[in-house]
Structure 1
């Protein structure tokens, strides 16, 4: 029993490169020509189905869902993020210029105020664009049962009116035959 264990350990010891390469190629059921083992088309290679049995992809691609935001809303959001980023950079530069006592402090503060107004406008633009898109395209209306019933009654009423008009036309074409007398 002890000699089996020692033999197994001695057989498993290889250089790290051979070990990794050997395991990966053994997994695929082939050896590269430079290692001298069985390769594609050589004796001892398993059939195609058996060879791919151990194959597992590293990841599985899942088809993308719809975009979380419609394109116009996404464009407005990107604009808003860019304007806000510029505003934050201007605020930081204005603060640092103020600490350094630079002449650029006052112009940067003024441009920071203007950028803050623009950033607020950009955020409001995202909100308005989202509302407009929702009103135009976002509502999927399914008629309720009461709406269906009302529509059904309206159609039946129109059918009766058209049938009555056809009957009157038919009577008129016959020359008034079949009309009740008014005596």
Structure 2
């Protein structure tokens, strides 16, 4: 291993040490525990920074967030749009219901119109919730479901394709015999 290899290895190990120190400081600061390696706010450092060694070392900053893989796949766009629309309509309906209830308690003249419009908006909110379900079903029907190799539908399609291939091959063989006019047969009828 040459000098360049040793330098790269030393840089990698220093980066790894810095990452470990930053991670330890970040975990410690989340639990209000003093940082395990190095102290924070020492030598004029910024908040959230941890020092690996003395004042000549650069501070290690904790990341703002840590990326995690998504647990579930993202909803299709039409379904997500319907869901957002439904949530907004349902939220407005609930606000309207609370206002109608408070107007009723206060004996305000606005109570009756609010109750009537609350009934109407409840119908609209129910439609919005059903719209999410219908949009999801339509999307599934148009775009299909994920088929696995053991799927019955896939096996049936495979059988049908094989039967069609065999039928085409037999038809081509018959056509070839007709074109040859029976030549090549051992006996003629």
Question: In the aligned structure 1, how far is the partner of 2:128 from the partner of 2:118?
Answer: 15
* 1:86 paired to 2:92: yes
User: Which one of 153, 171, 174 corresponds to residue 163 of structure 2?
Assistant: 153
Report matched runs for 1:52-71 at 5 Å: 58=63, 60-62=66-68, 64=70, 67-71=73-77
* 1:121 paired to 2:127: yes
- Identify if the C-alpha distance between structure 1 residues 160 and 181 changes in structure 2 by more than 3 Å, giving closer, same or farther: closer
Cα offset, 1:178, TM superposition? 5.4
Structure 2: tracts of 5 or more residues without a match: 1-39
CA contact (8 A) 2:50 2:60 kept: no
Q: Which deviations, in whole Å up to 9, do the C-alpha atoms of 1:107-148 show, x marking residues without a partner?
A: 101100100000011011111001101111141335647423
Question: In the aligned structure 1, how far is the partner of 2:96 from the partner of 2:135?
Answer: 27
For the aligned residue pairs, the C-alpha RMSD in angstroms reads: 3.4
Q: Which deviations, in whole Å up to 9, do the C-alpha atoms of 1:5-46 show, x marking residues without a partner?
A: xxxxxxxxxxx843684xx6751x673xxxxxx47xxxxxxx
Secondary structure, aligned partner of 2:109: coil
- Tell me which residue corresponds to 2:29: none
Report matched runs for 1:21-32 at 5 Å: 21=45, 26-27=51-52, 31=55
Cα offset, 1:164, TM superposition? 1.8
Report matched runs for 1:35-54 at 5 Å: 38=56
Report matched runs for 1:6-25 at 5 Å: 17-18=41-42, 21=45
Larger radius of gyration: 1
- Identify if the C-alpha distance between structure 1 residues 155 and 106 changes in structure 2 by more than 3 Å, giving closer, same or farther: same
Instruction: Output the TM-score relative to the length of structure 2.
Output: 0.60
Larger RCO: 1 or 2 (CA < 8 Å, sep 6+): 1
User: Which one of 136, 139, 146 corresponds to residue 133 of structure 1?
Assistant: 139
Question: In the aligned structure 2, how far is the partner of 1:146 from the partner of 1:80?
Answer: 40
Mean alpha-carbon deviation: is it higher for 66-75 or for 142-151? 142-151
Question: In the aligned structure 2, how far is the partner of 1:60 from the partner of 1:112?
Answer: 44
- How many positions carry a matched residue from both structures? 142
Instruction: Output the TM-score relative to the length of structure 1.
Output: 0.62
